[in-house]
């Protein structure tokens, strides 16, 4: 069946429908990862977005449900150049086609994803529609595309109630803003008992549990939409509890302490982004997924200083908070998918909790 991807600038790509045939409007973003498509599909940070995979062949090793980063896929749509019809992998349990149908995710294959990515790079991220309706009307569709916003998607992806992952070591409170499973797993593998809290949990409840450390997770959408969460994070900042924040958590901590954020032209999404540690000079190849960034011109050096920078474009990739046991990063040290170069940052967090406990 034919399918069409219609961008808000009027560009139309024609391909073949994969997955669900329902019509969807979403923000169109691209990911440059060569592998890890299942982890991309199940990353809650993609809620409210449709993902273009720039690597030309997707699905060749099938679907292994054990590798999912959450209980379901979150993108509104999926756009690929070529979809493998016969996966080859001893761990494979399913095909992408069946996976998309199972979770009612519409997609389109046969699209020139290189041309599409160049449009998004040159004109910036834009909204689009995936449809199988051959009688579409651009005059009707384009106003709808321009009006679309992702909205308050953190409420959609966070856990509904708190739960505990047992461990014998430090007690970590993980605020779930759309957390990937490997964040909790990375802490748990280091011995931590991890209590996962919904995004709307009052700060006082977390503080009252007397955690050794607090983790703020990744998540989707515009950080400025999370007004209630920002207020509670400021209360966490005012304690002496060690805090480590990733991606959306990094942005929310910056907003809570007086800095600003802005939307990037097309964001960073993929497993090949170099970031430099400004303390050691070491460069990590990192996994990233974000469309917003902390505005360094609004950062008060008495509150925080830059800790990491993106080697490609110079944007901020992390902050160290002055006089606080708090550091935050824009990239994903838990990877999944992507390189594990920066996984040592979890060890840094462990050390912070140990020093605080022995103080």
Q: Tell me, what DSSP letter sits at residue 296?
A: G
What is the overall mean pLDDT for the chain?
A: 97
How far is it, in rounded angstroms, from Cα 219 to Cα 229?
12
pLDDT of residue 77: 98
pLDDT of residue 89: 96
φ/ψ (deg, to 5) at 286: -120, 160
Mean pLDDT, to the nearest integer, of 72-90?
96
pLDDT of residue 358: 79
Check whether 221 is labelled as a binding-site residue. Answer: yes
Check whether 135 is labelled as a binding-site residue. Answer: no
Confidence of residue 355 (pLDDT cuts 50, 70, 90): confident
Are the C-beta atoms of residues 72 and 46 closer than 8 Å to each other?
Answer: no
Mean pLDDT, to the nearest integer, of 281-290?
97
How far is it, in rounded angstroms, from Cα 171 to Cα 354?
11
pTM: 0.97
Mean pLDDT, to the nearest integer, of 204-218?
98
Least Cα distance to 110 among 227, 3, 234 occurs for 3
Is domain 154-358 in CATH 3.40.50.880, yes or no? Answer: yes
Cite the active site residues: 247, 332, 334
Distances (CA, A) of 56 to 2, 37, 92, 297: 19, 12, 20, 38
Mean pLDDT, to the nearest integer, of 45-68?
97
How confident is the model over 300-317, as pLDDT tens digits?
A: 999 999 999 999 999 999
Does 359 have pLDDT greater than 80?
no
Q: What percent of the chain has pLDDT over 70?
A: 100
Check whether 292 is labelled as a binding-site residue. Answer: yes
Does 282 have pLDDT greater than 90?
yes
Domain boundaries, the chain: 2-147, 154-358
Give the CATH class of 2-147: alpha beta
Mean pLDDT, to the nearest integer, of 163-178?
98
pLDDT of residue 356: 81
pLDDT of residue 70: 97
pLDDT of residue 85: 87
Tokens standing for 194?
A: 């991890």
How far is it, in rounded angstroms, from Cα 154 to Cα 161?
14
Question: What is the separation, in whole angstroms, between the first and last Cα of the chain?
Answer: 65
pLDDT of residue 43: 98
Confidence of residue 357 (pLDDT cuts 50, 70, 90): confident
Distances (CA, A) of 102 to 68, 84, 85, 96: 14, 18, 17, 10
How confident is the model over 320-342, as pLDDT tens digits?
A: 999 999 999 999 999 999 999 99
Residue reference for tokens 């302490």:
257
Check whether 45 is labelled as a binding-site residue. Answer: yes
């Amino acid at each position: 069946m034919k399918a069409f991807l219609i961008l808000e600038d009027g560009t139309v790509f024609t391909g073949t429908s994969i997955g669900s045939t329902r019509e969807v409007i979403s923000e169109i973003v691209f990911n440059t990862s060569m592998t890890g498509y299942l982890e991309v599909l199940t990353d809650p940070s993609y809620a409210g977005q449709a993902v273009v995979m720039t690597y030309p062949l997707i699905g060749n090793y099938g679907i292994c449900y054990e590798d999912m980063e959450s209980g379901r896929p979150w993108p509104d749509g999926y756009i690929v150049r070529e979809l493998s019809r016969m996966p080859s992998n001893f761990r494979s349990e399913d095909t992408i086609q069946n996976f998309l149908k199972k979770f009612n995710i519409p997609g389109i294959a046969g699209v020139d994803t290189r041309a599409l990515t160049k449009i998004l790079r040159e004109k910036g991220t834009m909204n689009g529609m995936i449809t199988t309706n051959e009688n579409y009307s651009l005059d009707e569709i384009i106003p709808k595309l321009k009006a679309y916003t992702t909205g308050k998607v953190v409420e959609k992806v966070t856990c509904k109630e708190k739960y505990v992952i047992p461990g014998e070591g430090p007690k970590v409170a993980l605020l779930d803003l759309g957390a990937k499973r490997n964040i909790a797993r990375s802490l748990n593998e280091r011995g931590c008992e991890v209590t996962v809290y919904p995004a709307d949990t009052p700060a006082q409840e977390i503080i009252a549990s007397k955690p050794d450390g607090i983790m703020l997770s990744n998540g989707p959408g515009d950080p400025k939409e999370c007004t209630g969460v920002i207020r509670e994070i400021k209360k966490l900042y005012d304690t002496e509890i060690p805090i480590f924040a990733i991606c959306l958590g990094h942005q929310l901590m910056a907003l809570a302490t007086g800095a600003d954020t802005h939307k990037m032209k097309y964001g960073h999404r993929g497993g090949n982004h170099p970031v430099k540690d400004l303390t050691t000079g070491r460069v990590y190849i990192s996994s990233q997924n974000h469309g917003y960034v902390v505005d360094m011109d609004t950062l008060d050096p008495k509150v925080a200083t830059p800790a990491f920078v993106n080697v490609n474009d110079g944007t901020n990739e992390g902050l160290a908070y002055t006089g606080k046991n708090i550091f935050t990063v824009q990239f994903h040290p838990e990877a999944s998918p992507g390189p594990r170069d920066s996984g040592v940052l979890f060890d840094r967090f462990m050390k912070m909790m140990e020093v605080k406990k022995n103080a």
